[in-house]
Structure 1
């Protein structure tokens, strides 16, 4: 029974990751080149919350109750887009710090190699 539930959960997760627009946007924003688009992607939360409010009002006026599922999906997507901005900024700062550290390490190693080569050349000149 647990194996069946896990298989169904994985299948639903794969489907949602592949075809739902907010998941595709999230995956694109979490790439190195897409991290800068986290804050503009936050603006997509506004339409999702607006649609959720509109659907909730429709349900209140007598529409079928299954529309509450659409309200929940819109709220979930809105909160997902809302959190996308701060998380992408944190990731961008972390990546930039790692890139700066790697660049600093490369410059330091290059300077050490050059000074080592210069000292070897000076020793060779003294020996000759």
Structure 2
């Protein structure tokens, strides 16, 4: 049973990582060229939080209870973008440090 749950979770993660728009954007932002856009993309969290508040207003005005699921996804995506901002700064600093070390090593060899 645990093996079945594990395999199912692997397939769900693979599907989500390949086809969900926020995961595609985060994959692109984790590249070397995308790391510099980490902090500006934190502003996308504002859009997702606004969408979640709209869903809450629709639910309060008599909308379907299924909108709670949409609201939860919006909040989750907003949190992913908020966390990615500081993480991208740390990764960018680490990559630039590695690049400067490689540059210094190549100058000392020559």
Aligned partners of 1:4, 1:56: CA distance in 2, in Å?
A: 35
- Answering whether residue 6 of structure 2 is matched by residue 6 of structure 1, we say yes
Asked which structure has the greater CA Rg, the reply is: 1
Gaps of 5+ in 2: none
Instruction: Compute the RMSD of aligned alpha carbons.
Output: 1.0
| SS at 1:64 equivalent | coil
* TM-score normalised to structure 2 length: 0.94
Gaps of 5+ in 1: 111-128
Alignment: residue pair count? 110
Q: Which moved more, 1:36-45 or 1:50-59?
A: 36-45
Structure 1 runs of 4+ with >3 Å offset: none
* TM-score normalised to structure 1 length: 0.82
For residues 8-55 of structure 1, what are the alpha-carbon distances to aligned partners after superposition, in whole Å with 9 as ceiling and x for unaligned? 111111111011111111100110111111122111111100000000
Which structure has more RCO (C-alpha within 8 Å, separation ≥ 6)?
2
